């Protein structure tokens, strides 16, 4: 067994998941500002940890029959204020709707309460062949609990 601590996975408060993220040198461009594509990585981490802490394991879905996963179908991002090296950020994730094979989420990246980035994401549940599959009943129940809380 390793003596390493479990990485920070964030917390749920009032239907919103908050994941703390630090901006490292590797996240920035030559000016010390976060490179635009790296915000997408921060948002992905927020969605993944929101699901994990709500009880939806990507690994469990992939091990089930049929094998299932999630793919981003559409994302709309608005960059409002740049983040910089060493900034402590918070990635907020809120589940809006889950219907059929799709789920819709709203996300924000904040620094000290200031909104830096907003995103609306539509993800689809897919099988190993990339075909859309209805969200499993247990996952739909978790989403229902998240969106009502």
Catalytic residues: 29
Say which residues have a Cβ less than 8 Å from residue 106's Cβ, sequence separation at least 6.
93, 94, 96, 118, 119, 120, 121
DSSP classification of residue 26: G
CA distance 42 to 37: 9
Query: What DSSP line would sit under 109-121, residue for residue?
Result: EEETTEEEEEEEE
């Amino acid at each position: 067994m390793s003596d390493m601590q479990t990485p920070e996975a964030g917390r749920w408060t009032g239907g919103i998941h908050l994941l703390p993220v630090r901006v490292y040198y590797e996240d920035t461009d030559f000016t010390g500002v976060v490179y635009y594509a790296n915000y997408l990585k921060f948002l992905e981490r927020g969605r993944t940890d929101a699901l994990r802490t709500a009880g939806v394991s990507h690994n469990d879905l992939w091990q089930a029959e049929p094998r299932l996963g999630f793919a981003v179908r559409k994302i709309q991002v608005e960059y409002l204020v740049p983040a910089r090296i060493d900034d402590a950020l918070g990635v907020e994730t809120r589940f809006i709707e889950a219907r059929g094979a799709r789920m819709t989420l709203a996300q924000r990246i904040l620094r000290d309460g200031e909104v830096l980035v907003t995103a609306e994401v539509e993800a689809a549940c897919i099988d190993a062949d990339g075909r859309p599959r209805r969200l499993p009943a247990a996952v739909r129940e978790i989403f229902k609990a998240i969106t009502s809380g």
